[in-house]
Amino acid sequence: MKEQLAKIRAEALSAFEGIRDAAALDELRVRYLGKKGELTALLKQMGRLTPEERPVMGQLANDVRAALEKALEDCSAKLEAEALTAKLQAETLDVTVPGKAVKQGHKHPMYFALDEIKDIFVGMGFTVLDGPEVELAELNFDRLNAEEGHPSRDWSDTFYFDRDSRVMLRSQTSPMQVRAMDTMSLPIRIIAPGRVYRKDEVDATHSPMFHQVEGMVIDKNVTMADLKGTLNLLAEQLFGRGTVTRFRPHHFPFTEPSCEMDVQCHKCGGAGCATCKGEGWIELLGAGMIHPNVLRMAGIDPEEWSGWAFGMGLERTAMRRFKIADLRLIFENDIRFLEQF
């Protein structure tokens, strides 16, 4: 037994020497000092010894246990110290290395244009509203006087979520007119910018997702003169003093009369060039006097109140404002393009 004890001691001590990590150390602890370890197994055989031998062996076994426990502790302390040194070394910071310059971004050109538009209208007492892109067809169409069967309600034009065509991605910001009428008290002056969606193929002037800014005024004695005055002011503030506009008759279900506003081409001054496709004018927005049906459906008496509204494409306005030729540049977010603004 004496030899066995000496053997365990020698083996264990040399094993502890070679240990490099905590898991391996724990394995050794279990192997030699654990309940089912080699030392314990040996001690269980003490019963076979003579009464004289027992205390001697007991003493010897205790010495071995103490030696192993000490080796275990030393080894564990050494591993901890090594881990700390490695961690400190890995985390050293060379304060003399030159810093990496942080690239600073800036606002997207389309949002420069939007902020200008917001400033212009907020300055005239309008409130800016935000609304859902997932909209009820009831608000996008019915409440805007676009009855069942209206071409824009077709599945080929609109992204619907359900078979009954009740929930959709809004195809225009105009449902915000209805939301404003339903929730605000009169008189109302609002603009509502945001994303809209249509099943269009991507090209230089189309994208299935684009942005509009809706605007609406409802008050007493509001006339087409207010519409023209306000929108002319918008054109002058966006594109410079003396910007010439023209209003053409048009049709929208939710306005009567309806019109489109064009701005004289900034490139050729109306003579006709590539920018305006030879027209001399560039279409900027749709507008009109709010249809009495739309007011009535919102519980507003058209005999007492009247209003006007407009909707403009934001990308198109930004393209004109910054002379950008292709709509795709606005969404591709190529740094070389964005850096120019």
Residue numbers at the binding site for ligand DAH (CB under 6 A): 172, 174, 214, 252, 255, 286-288, 309-311
190, 216, 205: which is closest to 315 by C-alpha?
A: 205
> Pairing mode, if any, of strands 255-264 and 281-290?
antiparallel
Which tokens sit at 268?
């050729």
Indicate the residue among 16 and 308 with the shorter CB distance to ligand DAH. 308
Minimum distance, C-beta of residue 332 to ligand DAH, in the bound complex (Å):
24
Indicate the residue among 72 and 144 with the shorter CB distance to ligand DAH. 144
Minimum distance, C-beta of residue 234 to ligand DAH, in the bound complex (Å):
13
Minimum distance, C-beta of residue 91 to ligand DAH, in the bound complex (Å):
58
* Residue given tokens 């939007």 in the structure block: 114
Indicate the residue among 174 and 245 with the shorter CB distance to ligand DAH. 174
106, 175, 73, 182: which is closest to 134 by C-alpha?
A: 175
Minimum distance, C-beta of residue 196 to ligand DAH, in the bound complex (Å):
7
Check: CB of residue 122 under 8 Å from CB of residue 189: no
Indicate the residue among 5 and 287 with the shorter CB distance to ligand DAH. 287
The residue with its CB nearest to ligand DAH is: 311
Minimum distance, C-beta of residue 258 to ligand DAH, in the bound complex (Å):
6
Distance CA 71, CA 12 (A): 9
Minimum distance, C-beta of residue 212 to ligand DAH, in the bound complex (Å):
6
Identify the helix (H) or strand (E) that includes residue 290: strand 281-290
3-state DSSP call for residue 151? Answer: helix
Indicate the residue among 19 and 309 with the shorter CB distance to ligand DAH. 309
Indicate the residue among 280 and 311 with the shorter CB distance to ligand DAH. 311
Check: CB of residue 171 under 8 Å from CB of residue 196: yes
Minimum distance, C-beta of residue 137 to ligand DAH, in the bound complex (Å):
14
Check: CB of residue 205 under 8 Å from CB of residue 320: no
User: From its phi and psi, is residue 288 left (phi > 0), alpha (psi between -120 and 50) or beta?
Assistant: left
Burial of 139-164, coded b for 16+ CB within 10 Å and e otherwise, reads bbbbbbbbeeeeeebeeeebbeeeee
Check: CB of residue 195 under 8 Å from CB of residue 211: yes
Indicate the residue among 16 and 310 with the shorter CB distance to ligand DAH. 310
Minimum distance, C-beta of residue 288 to ligand DAH, in the bound complex (Å):
4
Indicate the residue among 12 and 314 with the shorter CB distance to ligand DAH. 314
Q: Which amino acid is at 29?
A: R
